[in-house]
Structure formats: C-alpha cells, structure tokens
Amino acid sequence: MSPVRFKDEAGKPYRPSNGTEGEIFMEKWCERCMLDTEDNPCEILTSTLAFEIDDPEYPKEWRYDFDGRPMCTKFMAKP
C-alpha cells in the first residue's frame, strides 16, 4: 500500500501531479498489471495520457480509494 493518503480526495478521479508521481504510480500498478503488455498496451493508461482529468474521456478507473490512496480499479496482478 502507498503511504501517501489524501483523505479529502477519497472516491475522486486521480491524476499524477508530475512525472515522478506518475512513474511511481505506474510502477506500482501498470507494470504489474495483466492489462498492460508490450503487445497490447493498456487503454486506461493510454487515455490518462491523452485526456485531462476533467474530460469525459478520462478513465474512471484511476481513482483515490476509500482511504485517499491512488489506485486503478481494473488492476489485475500478473502471475
């Protein structure tokens, strides 16, 4: 689990605030997820890079959990 919590953001859409935060998030979630492979890049990740957080096309899967920690609701751990 991430030690960083933003209780006021619980349930809201998540977008990394900078490249470093984005890399940490992707290392924790995307790089370990079955939905993101070399042959088939994750559409969620691609869309987060293409759209602003307030755009209707921005993925709903990147959110703050009930405790205010960034997460991806579609995460499926690689075996």
pLDDT tens digits along 33-67: 999 998 999 999 999 999 999 999 999 999 999 99
pLDDT beyond 70 at 25:
yes
The residues near 37 (Cβ < 8 Å, ≥ 6 apart) are: none
Whole-model pTM?
0.85
The residues near 75 (Cβ < 8 Å, ≥ 6 apart) are: 29, 32, 33, 35
Which sign, positive or negative, has the C-alpha torsion 34, 61, 29, 66?
A: negative
What is the reported pLDDT for 26?
94
